[in-house]
Amino acid sequence: METIEKVNVKQIREDLKKLSENQKWLKNQRKTVKKDCSRKESDPNDIEPWEATYKHQINREKLRLMYAAYGLMRGKSFSKTENKFPEESHPLNEYKEKIDKIISEYTKEKE
């Protein structure tokens, strides 16, 4: 019997939506301080601006790699995913191992 690898595109799409919504929330959290360094509103879900900035940067890198993995799963090259760079010298080539790891997380094997 052959094992067939099937990519769970629906799951990665849902995870991308959750991360992008979280990214918007983190971006707003970076701006929740007045000039006198006090909070604008006292929402229990608020986090400190420095923490929001840190999480926003980590989330941005993760989203970029997940979008690249999603593009590869759909048969697109890096230059089609991010149009700024040519394929030969694309910066995502440095992250190929991380992107392959993300693809393997969303891949199922069936017999």
Q: Where are the domains of the chain?
A: 4-110
Distance CA(39)–CA(48), nearest Å, equals 9
If you average pLDDT over every residue of the chain, what do you get? 81
Distance CA(26)–CA(42), nearest Å, equals 16
Phi first, then psi, for residue 4 (nearest 5°) are -105, 130
pLDDT computed for residue 17 by the predictor: 94
pLDDT computed for residue 33 by the predictor: 64
pLDDT computed for residue 111 by the predictor: 45
pLDDT computed for residue 29 by the predictor: 82
Q: Give 14-66 pLDDT, tens digit per residue.
A: 999 999 999 998 888 887 665 555 555 556 667 778 888 899 999 999 999 99
